[in-house]
């Protein structure tokens, strides 16, 4: 498709389990961001990829969170030993094609994964 | 202090009303400015960029005051379909394009 896609759309997991969230970015877009939106909170930055490397991981809330990107395309966000406070919507976003990290620009979001930790 | 502050509302207005949202940002190095719209349980979508000279897109007008670090959005002739949460968003040159979001202002337009 033409837009960012994410899977699963919803995920319910038990506390302590690991989860993997997937982002399929817009084809050919080298930059990719992960954000999360907790209930009653604004969107918070998690991590930024340029190609397969992550020059900014400063938003990851703890070492239980990690992310990788392969082939400059699909990205996976992994949360280990999930906690109830991890419940949120996790969103992936791309800037316009060809943007390479200069002046900030708009981003286009996927539909998100709604994670519920019980 | 949060990077971006918005009045959370809610704003409840009748169809045809004019409504204005305000936003302030704390970092003077902020570089790019946007308004996004987020419908219930949906992803944020870009409504419009905000330029220093102010800009208009149909019924929507955005203004930026860099000296006061203040951004506004004016919606004229409100439609039922304008009901949504409006997010004020900024970027900084030093943080690799990450977006900084306000918590959003909720708007309900009633018939």
Rg of chain B over Cα atoms, rounded to whole angstroms, equals 13
User: Residue B10's closest CA among B106, B110, B74, B104?
Assistant: B106
Q: What is the pLDDT of residue A2?
A: 66
Looking at residue A41, what DSSP letter applies?
S
Contact B78, B70 (CB under 8 A): no
Q: How far apart are CA B38 and CA B33, in angstroms?
A: 16
Q: How far apart are CA B88 and CA B4, in angstroms?
A: 7
| Nearby residues of A61 by Cβ (< 8 Å), 6 or more positions away | A46
**Is pLDDT at B88 greater than 80 in this prediction?**
yes
**Of B91, B97, B102, which is closest to A42 when you measure between CB atoms?**
B102
User: Which residues from chain B sit within 8 angstroms of residue A95, using beta carbons?
Assistant: 97
Average pLDDT over residues A83-108: 88
User: Which residues from chain A sit within 8 angstroms of residue B92, using beta carbons?
Assistant: 104
Of the listed ranges A76-85, B20-29, B82-91, the least confidently predicted one is B20-29
Q: What is the mean pLDDT of chain B?
A: 94
Sequence length of chain B is 111
Give the count of alpha carbons within 13 A of A60, CB side only.
18
Q: Which of B27, B38, B97, B102 would you mutate first to test chain A, the one with the most A CBs within 10 A?
A: B97
Q: What is the pLDDT of residue A1?
A: 46
Do the Cβ atoms of B99 and A35 come within 8 Å?
Answer: yes
Average pLDDT over residues B41-59: 94
Complete DSSP assignment for A71-107: TTS-EEEEESS--GGG-EEEEEEE-STT--SSS----
Report the percentage of chain B scoring pLDDT > 70.
100
Do the Cβ atoms of B87 and A42 come within 8 Å?
Answer: yes
Looking at residue B82, what DSSP letter applies?
G
On whether any CB of chain B is under 8 Å from the CB of A45, the answer is yes
Average pLDDT over residues A18-43: 91
**Distance from B16 to chain A by nearest Cα, in Å?**
29
Q: How far apart are CA A59 and CA B2, in angstroms?
A: 15
**Of B4, B43, B49, which is closest to A106 when you measure between CB atoms?**
B49
Q: What is the pLDDT of residue A99?
A: 77
Average pLDDT over residues B95-109: 93
User: Residue A38's closest CA among A112, A88, A111?
Assistant: A88
Searching chain B, which residue's CA lies closest to the CA of residue A112? B43
């Amino acid at each position: 498709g033409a837009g960012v896609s994410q899977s699963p759309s919803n995920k319910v997991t038990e506390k302590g389990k690991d989860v993997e969230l997937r982002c399929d970015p817009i084809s050919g877009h080298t930059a990719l961001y992960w954000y999360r939106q907790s209930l009653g909170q604004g969107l918070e930055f998690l991590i930024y990829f340029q190609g397969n490397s992550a020059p900014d991981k400063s938003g990851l809330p703890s070492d239980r969170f990690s992310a990788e990107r392969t082939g400059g395309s699909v990205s996976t966000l992994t949360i280990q030993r999930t906690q109830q406070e991890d419940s949120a919507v996790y969103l992936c976003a791309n800037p316009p094609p060809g943007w390479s990290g200069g002046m900030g620009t708009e981003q286009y979001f996927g539909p998100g994964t709604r994670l519920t930790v019980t | 202090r949060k990077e971006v502050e918005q009045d959370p509302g809610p704003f409840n207005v009748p169809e045809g009303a004019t409504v204005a949202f305000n936003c302030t940002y704390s970092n003077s190095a902020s570089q790019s400015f946007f308004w996004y719209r987020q419908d219930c349980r949906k992803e944020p979508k870009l409504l419009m960029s905000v330029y220093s000279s102010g800009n208009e897109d149909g019924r929507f007008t955005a203004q930026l005051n860099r000296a006061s670090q203040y951004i506004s959005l004016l919606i004229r002739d409100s439609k039922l379909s304008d009901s949504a949460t409006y997010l004020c968003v900024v970027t900084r040159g030093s943080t690799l394009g990450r977006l900084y979001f306000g918590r959003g202002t909720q708007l309900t337009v009633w018939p």
